[in-house]
């Protein structure tokens, strides 16, 4: 009687951690941040086309994701995390219940490369729901949230934090997060209180401090203060981080990541390409619309209205008819209406460029003087091109604590800008 030989057992897949995991997803340098309702699939596709190496999903509410099919279907489609078009991808959750967080994470672990815990959201909704940065005093709960994912998922867990005013406390916090099982640490260089009118500049020095104090195998992403392409290299040099992450910078100009990074080699002005770095709105909206119309799922269409308002922020005060068209968008708006807006913007910009005066003014100027101690600069960009976002503080646009450009009477009428080619 012959014995049937059982098939050999497949070797268990080893879950990579830390730097090995980071290298397995291509050692990304330019990362699209997790944002509430804003880093959805269509936007990620556009961002990847324009140079992003890694994207996070929007922040997902773990309890709703685990318990409500409608929310889950709306926020995460079958094409999210698709191997050829949406990887590498990290799915972010906010949570305060370890079991529900694990239940939610289990539903996505086959469609992403890692799951991230949001410990950075500073908004009042996070305060009311007790999640995000409003967990940062409850270290016991944070440890449990991270550790249950580390022990039970087939993929790594990563964590995004804000800093404390005290560096030593921030370091202890980071060490606790890592000891719980986090494989990558994203550090937003602002405190929980730095939001809205009190946002201010992110503190890159505290990220550098963490980099110097934590083991070299710890992978750190730096978040905060990215306005222009050269800020990427400035941040890497100032912090020693492995990569940079952008939220608002990416939303207002998704071409922020468009050029390759050559570490410690900041591109001079005469090597910058205006059309690549600050794309015209007609070109950018057409690219976005072509992606949007081929991207199924509710999340991308729901987010489109906000994306249009942000992309066209400087354009809409001049062309208020376009603002009115965007304002009419709702969840039932058909894709044809988005195309009408795109065509309208294309017509306006092409008409502008047909005018000799506008064509001569289609240049980007950079300030001839650094506007803060880090060497940051300010550039004036024509309103029909993508540009950075400066948050108003007490009704004024500030850059590094100063007005972006001095008034001419303060400079004796002398020009203080240089043309960007």
| Cα separation, 172 vs 196, whole angstroms | 27
Contact predicate 80/114, CB 8 Å: no
**Residue 159, phi then psi, degrees to nearest 5:** -140, 140
| Cα separation, 379 vs 387, whole angstroms | 9
Contact predicate 96/104, CB 8 Å: no
Residues forming a β-bridge with 222? 187, 244
Catalytic annotation on 121?
yes
Residues forming a β-bridge with 91? 115
- Contacting residues for 81 by C-beta, under 8 A, at least 6 apart: 87, 89, 91, 108, 111, 112
Please name the residue that has the structure tokens 């991308």: 300
| Cα separation, 206 vs 171, whole angstroms | 9
CA angle 22/23/25 to nearest 5° reads: 70
Nearest to 335 by CA among 376, 291, 274, 380: 291
Catalytic residue of the set 55, 94, 112, 121: 121
| Cα separation, 27 vs 114, whole angstroms | 14
H helix runs in 96-247, sequence order: 98-106, 124-129, 139-152, 167-180, 204-213, 229-239
CA angle 19/22/24 to nearest 5° reads: 110
Contact predicate 231/267, CB 8 Å: no
Contact predicate 48/55, CB 8 Å: yes
For 268, counting Cβ atoms within 10 Å of its Cβ (0-12 exposed, 13-18 middle, 19+ buried), the class is exposed
| Cα separation, 269 vs 303, whole angstroms | 34
Q: Which residues participate in catalysis according to the annotation?
A: 121
């Amino acid at each position: 009687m012959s014995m049937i030989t059982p098939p050999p057992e497949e070797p268990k897949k080893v879950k990579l951690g830390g730097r090995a995991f980071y290298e397995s997803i291509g050692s990304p340098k330019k990362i699209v941040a997790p944002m509430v309702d804003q880093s959805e699939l269509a936007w990620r596709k556009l961002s990847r086309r324009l140079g992003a190496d890694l994207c996070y999903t929007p922040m997902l509410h773990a309890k709703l994701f685990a318990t409500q099919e409608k929310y889950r279907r709306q926020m995460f489609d079958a094409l999210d995390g698709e191997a050829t078009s949406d990887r590498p991808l990290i799915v972010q959750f906010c949570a305060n219940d370890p079991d529900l967080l694990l239940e939610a994470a289990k539903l996505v672990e086959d469609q992403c490369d890692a799951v991230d815990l949001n410990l950075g959201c500073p908004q009042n909704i996070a305060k009311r729901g007790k999640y995000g940065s409003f967990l940062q005093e409850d270290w016991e709960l944070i440890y449990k949230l991270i550790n249950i994912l580390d022990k039970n998922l087939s993929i790594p867990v990563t964590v995004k934090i804000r800093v404390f005013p005290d560096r030593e406390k921030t370091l202890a916090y980071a060490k606790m997060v890592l000891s719980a099982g986090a494989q990558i640490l994203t550090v937003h260089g602002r405190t929980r209180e730095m939001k809205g009118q009190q946002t201010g500049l992110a503190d890159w020095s505290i990220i550098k401090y963490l980099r110097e104090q934590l083991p070299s195998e710890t992978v750190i992403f730096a978040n905060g203060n990215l306005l222009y392409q050269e800020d990427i290299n400035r941040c890497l040099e100032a912090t020693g981080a492995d990569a940079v992450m952008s939220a608002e910078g990416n939303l207002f100009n998704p071409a922020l990541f468009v050029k390759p990074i050559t570490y410690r080699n900041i591109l001079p002005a005469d090597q910058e390409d205006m059309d690549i770095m600050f794309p015209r709105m007609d070109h950018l909206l057409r690219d976005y619309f072509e992606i949007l119309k081929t991207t199924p799922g509710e999340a991308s269409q729901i987010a489109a209205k906000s994306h249009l308002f942000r992309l066209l922020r400087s354009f809409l005060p001049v062309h208020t008819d376009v603002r009115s068209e965007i304002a009419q968008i709702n969840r039932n708006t058909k894709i044809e209406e988005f195309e009408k807006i795109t065509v309208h913007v294309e017509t306006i910009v092409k008409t502008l460029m047909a005018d000799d005066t506008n064509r001569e003014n289609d240049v980007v100027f950079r300030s001839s003087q650094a506007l803060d101690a880090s060497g940051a600069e300010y550039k004036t960009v024509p309103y029909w091109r993508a540009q950075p976002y400066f948050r108003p503080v007490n009704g004024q646009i500030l850059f590094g604590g100063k007005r972006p450009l001095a008034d001419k009477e303060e400079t004796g009428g002398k020009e203080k800008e240089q043309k960007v080619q």
